[in-house]
Amino acid sequence: MTAIFHRAPRQTLPVAVTGDGIEIIDAMGKRYIDASGGAAVSCLGHSHPRIVEAIEQQARKLAYAHTSFFTTEPAEALARHLVERAPAGLAYVYFVSGGSEAMEAALKLARQYFVEIGQPERRHIVARRQSYHGNTLGALAIGGNARRRAPFEPLLIEAHHVSPCYAYRERLAGETDEAYVQRLADELEQTIVALGPDTVAAFVAETVVGATLGAVPPVADYFRRIRAVCDKYGVLLILDEVMCGMGRTGHLYACEEEAIAPDLLTVAKGLGAGYQPIGAVLVNERLYDAIVGGSGFFQHGHTYIGHAIACAAALEVQRVIVEENLLANVRERGMQLRASLRERFAGHAHIGDIRGRGLFVGIELVEDVVSKTPFAPERALHVAIKREAMARGLMVYPMGGTVDGWRGDHVLLAPPYICTCEDIERIVERLGDAIEAALAPFR
């Protein structure tokens, strides 16, 4: 009997007891390769001795000091580490405890910035359909996942949605990359104009889409055109890198590959690698100056912002990534993973797309590869894949899209940055078997 209110209370879950590198071991002694890092979190695997040691040391020195009284050494050092490597202009860091909190803080920073500079009429947020930015009310409101939003709809702030950049399904037949991204930029521009350009505060997007679509990178030049539209109308660009940031794509910040800098950038999962709950908002100097030179106070805060143990753990995670040159491993193992999956599923009747960047990889499953018809949602293929993978000692993150009318099944892979060639081979082998077993009743 469990006394915990789990998300899906009817499920019986194995009890995770220990971690060992890229594996989790349950109470029965069964090992699971963590090929999804949970939900793209555990980027250094489990029980990493350096992170455990950093947490212990900080706990012995000082666990917590409220930010209205003190700053701390690990918080200052972590902020410096992040901004020294950040895209141009992102010079300040606001620490929180996770991804949704980071998105809430980013939305409020955007709004307060416009109040500070005398443009209080700017209140609209534009985001994208088929998106997820967190489960707190503000983050949920801007997300485009109709199913998650549905029960809470009357409580949500108004938000506006444009199309995601999702070439596999939404690029028209014969449309070039250039024409496709121009169409998307035009759609954003028309939305801003229709709302009234002086009333729009920010446009929000994930740089590489994670959970909702399954590791979908933007088409070349998409974000440069989006940035140009935002600049034309004085709209802030908020990039959500809660899932895709902190090295997951082979670059510390995923937007480095887009050759643009956002005004606000959120990170979380890979920041603390699951060793401590921590997230952050990187803030452009212009916004910071407006608030510091204006009211001088960000009207927001939580008790645990800048938590000393969380910052010490995250700092050590980030140092390990640098010192062990793990971003290069992410790029190389990521290429190997995509190539192995393509080989394993070559000519497969139900693998529609294999995509991603670095160790952030998505596989989309379809009933028919030519028409891209998804499997009927009531068959819950993604649920069967997860079950079959767990039976084989493999953790993957499958999703069944029920997002704005589009439905489909995909599997998200986000293995730890420390994984080896052999680990990748084991992941592909077990996943291949799990997918075949899940598809068997469909044949």
Q: Which residues bind ligand PLP (CB under 6 A)?
A: 39, 98-100, 103, 132-134, 206, 210-211, 240, 242-243, 268
Please check whether residue 251 is in contact with residue 218, taking contact to mean a CB–CB distance below 8 angstroms.
Answer: no
Shortest gap between Cβ of 34 and ligand PLP (angstroms)? 16
Q: How far apart are CA 21 and CA 16, in angstroms?
A: 14
Shortest gap between Cβ of 208 and ligand PLP (angstroms)? 9
Got the DSSP string for 429-443?
Answer: HHHHHHHHHHHGGG-
Shortest gap between Cβ of 213 and ligand PLP (angstroms)? 11
Tell me how crowded residue 261 is: count the other CB atoms within 10 A of its CB. Answer: 20
90 vs 268, beta carbon nearer ligand PLP: 268
148 vs 183, beta carbon nearer ligand PLP: 148
Tell me how crowded residue 157 is: count the other CB atoms within 10 A of its CB. Answer: 13
278 vs 428, beta carbon nearer ligand PLP: 278
CB within 8 A of 411, min separation 6: which ones? 214, 362, 363, 365, 382, 385, 396, 397, 398, 399, 431, 435
132 vs 375, beta carbon nearer ligand PLP: 132
Shortest gap between Cβ of 172 and ligand PLP (angstroms)? 27
Q: Is the dihedral of CA 143, 145, 147, 150 positive or negative?
A: positive
Tokens describing residue 242:
């809660």
290 vs 414, beta carbon nearer ligand PLP: 414
Shortest gap between Cβ of 246 and ligand PLP (angstroms)? 12
Shortest gap between Cβ of 39 and ligand PLP (angstroms)? 5
Cα–Cα distances in Å, from 376 out to 316, 357, 382? 45, 28, 11
100 vs 249, beta carbon nearer ligand PLP: 100
Of all residues in this chain, which one has the CB nearest to ligand PLP in the complex?
A: 99
Phi/psi of residue 132, each to 5°? -140, 130
